[in-house]
Structure 1
Amino acid sequence: MNVAVAKTGNGRAVSDLFASAEGRLPGSPAVVAVRREAFETYERLGLPHRRIEEWKYTDLRALVGEVLPLAAAPDTAALKRAADAVKAHAIEGARKLVLVDGVFAADLSDVKALASEVGFKTLRETLEKDAALLMTASTDAVIALNAALATDGVVLSIADGAQLSAPIQIIHIATAASASAFTRSQVAVGNGARATIIESFVAAGAKAYQVSDAVIVTIGDNADVAHIRLMDDAPDAVNITSQFVTVGANTKVNFFNMTSGAAVSRLQGFITLAGEGSDLAINGVNLLQKTEHGDTTLVVDHAVPNCVSREIFRAVIDDRAHSVFQGRIIVRPDAQKTDGKMMTRALLLSDEAEADNKPELEIFADDVSCGHGATAGALDDSLLFYLKARGLPEKQAQALLIQAFVGEAIEQIADDGLREHVIGIAERWLERRS
């Protein structure tokens, strides 16, 4: 018998999207072939849904429905709005690299200042010669679709022994409403290098847009890297980000993520500890309200012995919002002396708020120290009463307790200025809640 795959209306729309966008996408003929193969993978799988274990709490078919058409290249008006957003969200002292609607904006970026310390290219330039950045063995439909439609991104190379004098801030700005932006970036950190990378996702007047981002990070031996991600997209936006990190030997990595916007968001990180003696700290905060859905999914793969990983995640959930944390620690058979722990806590501020916490351990070695924990609960009534009895209004008393709750994760940011910046984001979220 003959079997045919029947596409839904959304499937046809995505197929039409790829056909119409193919001529605009950068790359050599070899890149075009890789894109088509990636899109075929997506076409075969479709948007992830609840029957896929890794996506059981974030059903994109139900939450998103369809992929929006690619945003047009930013015009003068869009770049003007983006410039205003850069002023509002740029971190003082950081070297800026700005992507507007998925396209690198050189006039808004500090390319010359950065070039003295870091090798830099755009993804568009890189794809004219090499398709490697789009190649992936993943069967995840979201990752495949990103490879098929990635328009631009930044490619950074930090040399061995480099000690960057300032953080690098990659700012993703959305100016186009009801459109999508696909970006893919790479950061290669050499042996003995020290660097701080910041990623910011913000809107400049855009509404109901979609963001798909992928970041590939490789870190050499004896390095020290901090990676701060701040996601504050528009309240009706969709943000799906995938990160792939490989860590060398005797290296220290500190990763922090804060989600305080977007109707639907998911950060999925795949971190491999590939060198002995490395120390990985992952900390995150979800600040969700109304009907927002925020998903953090992390896989930490201990592939070699004598590595340490720590995960601290906090979620504050108000109204009918929904927070998801899925954390998996894998310990390979040869990864003896592994020390891996994760802890996730959710603070529910209303009776309709929802938290799904799913910590997992897969241990194939016998000389390890691993553990996980998960809790969910409301604000402590006795502490609220104590603060209110001393004259604080209820909302202010709640804000103090919420700040203390998320503080353990935020305090892991070593840089004082960055830590204060993140605290400011949390405070503004609390003000909006009031």
Structure 2
Amino acid sequence: MKQVLPKADPERAIGNVFAAARGRLPGGGLVPQIRASAFEVYERTGLPHRGMEDWKYTDLRALIGGVLPLAPRPDAEALVRAKVSAERVSVDQAVKLVLVDGIFAPELSDLGRLKNQVVVRSLREVLENSAPGDMAGLLLSTTSDSAISLNAAMATDGLVITVVDGNAVKRPIQIVHVATGVSVSTFTRSYLQLGKGAHAAIVESFVSAERASGYQANDAIIALVGNEASLSHIRVAAAASDAVNISSAIIAVGAGAKLDLFSMTCGGSISRYQGFIKLAGEGTKVSANGVNLIRDELHADTTMVVDHAVPHCISREKFRAVIDDCGRSVFQGRIVVRPAAQKTDANLTTRALLLSDQAEADSKPELEILADDVTCGHGATSGALDNSLVFYLRARGLSEKDAKMLLIKAFVGESIEEITSENLRDFVTAQAEHWLQAGR
């Protein structure tokens, strides 16, 4: 069935949406000026469109038409529905931090379980009470990407998480984004700082509550991973089937540090996850992997830019997509090797599995190499299930559906297996299996 997305009416032009929301956006001092500057950056281009190379496959100007009004603060009834949805996606033993319609909900969160391992504050609290101008500028930093600039201008809340030097956070921290509204937009932004030698695992889950529909979510996370630190960042987006989800990650990784990044999209009419990773210190290792699970007429875009700025760093990217019906999956992966980044070792592979004749996979792996002593490679393939393997499994007693299911699970598992934590790997696997079962 054709998904019909709510489009902004002419009087809801983004300038009017921003003007109407300014009184509700947190922050004093220099913060309003920083927001206005970010909005000016956005206004130069407006919604991303096909004329922008990085957005050529996901033309938001054509797909959604405009930005919806900002969601109101969640009331008691919305919080009740959000609690049910947040519990449904809880990670075992994780510390849960819940954002409802773009606002941090401490009553649904587990702040007390963190003890002294980590400092967590809401973005709203930091901007309103304790952030000097330079801190506000960091939290609301913008880029040339118009979606991120719009997020900086409109962010209502988020989380500011600080892990001090040498501290290992024992439990995963799960940030649950719950949408409860209808035909509204939300903007959240979080900031994560890991000190030298610190270790943490962050899980982000995007879900919708009962009766939520037609909403637009724009989220960004900025992470600074200190020298010799280790960060696992897992993202699972299962938005409503008529919703829009745009998520951005901007991550800088220090010397001798390790980053494990994984993203899975299995819902939302229009979704895009974009990651900008800078290897800023020597001896850094990055593993960036992902899965798109798409059916009906849904559209999912994963775009990754891995920037090798210094020598002796390693990056690996492994992306898989399963597309059924008239779904469309996009993967754009760019590896940049700067002139000073000698001895770089980087590799990227993307594979798409098409389950119908109408399914579409667009892949664009890129290498931009400005150094001469490197080992770099990339590859992209797409195709249907191997009928000979289906026959092999059926000959051993499996039904055709079970045989295909087993092959799809193995295909997706190539990327999921890169998650180092067994607990988080099991969580992601369960989410993928739920999507597969729903399509049987």
Q: Is the 8 A contact 1:229 1:257 kept in 2?
A: yes
The aligned counterpart of 2:103 is 103
Q: Is the 8 A contact 1:297 1:326 kept in 2?
A: yes
The aligned runs of 1:34-433 (5 Å cut-off) are 34-128=34-128, 129-130=131-132, 131-205=136-210, 206-433=212-439
For residues 157-186 of structure 1, the C-alpha deviation after alignment (integer angstroms, 9 at most, x for no partner) is 000000111110000000111111100000
For residues 216-258 of structure 1, the C-alpha deviation after alignment (integer angstroms, 9 at most, x for no partner) is 0000111121111111111111100111000001111111111
Q: Is the 8 A contact 1:306 1:338 kept in 2?
A: yes
Counterpart-to-counterpart distance in 2, 1:277 and 1:70: 43
Q: Is the 8 A contact 1:11 1:46 kept in 2?
A: no
Cα offset for 1:83?
1.0
What secondary structure, in the 3-state scheme, does the structure 1 residue paired with 2:13 have? Answer: helix
Cα offset for 1:56?
0.4
Which runs of 5 or more structure 1 residues have no equivalent in the other structure? Answer: 1-7
Cα offset for 1:136?
3.1
Which runs of 5 or more structure 2 residues have no equivalent in the other structure? Answer: 1-7
Counterpart-to-counterpart distance in 1, 2:65 and 2:89: 30
Deviates more, 1:383-392 or 1:267-276: 383-392
What secondary structure, in the 3-state scheme, does the structure 2 residue paired with 1:45 have? Answer: coil
- Amino acid paired to 1:90: S
- Amino acid paired to 1:238: V
CA 1:116–1:137 in 2, change beyond 3 Å: closer, same or farther? closer
The ranges of structure 1 where at least 4 consecutive aligned residues each deviate by more than 6 angstroms after the TM superposition are none
Q: Is the 8 A contact 2:85 2:208 kept in 1?
A: yes
For residues 244-284 of structure 1, the C-alpha deviation after alignment (integer angstroms, 9 at most, x for no partner) is 00000111111111110101110111000000001100110
CA 1:85–1:280 in 2, change beyond 3 Å: closer, same or farther? same
Cα offset for 1:135?
4.0
Counterpart-to-counterpart distance in 1, 2:327 and 2:101: 27
TM-score (norm 1): 0.96
Counterpart-to-counterpart distance in 2, 1:115 and 1:173: 25
Q: Is the 8 A contact 1:34 1:134 kept in 2?
A: no
Paired-residue identity, %? 57
Counterpart-to-counterpart distance in 2, 1:331 and 1:374: 20
Instruction: Count the aligned residue pairs.
Output: 427
Counterpart-to-counterpart distance in 1, 2:115 and 2:62: 44
CA 1:202–1:356 in 2, change beyond 3 Å: closer, same or farther? same
Counterpart-to-counterpart distance in 2, 1:429 and 1:422: 11
RMSD: 1.3
What secondary structure, in the 3-state scheme, does the structure 2 residue paired with 1:385 have? Answer: helix
Counterpart-to-counterpart distance in 1, 2:320 and 2:274: 16
Q: Is the 8 A contact 2:139 2:191 kept in 1?
A: no
Counterpart-to-counterpart distance in 2, 1:322 and 1:405: 18
CA 1:151–1:115 in 2, change beyond 3 Å: closer, same or farther? farther
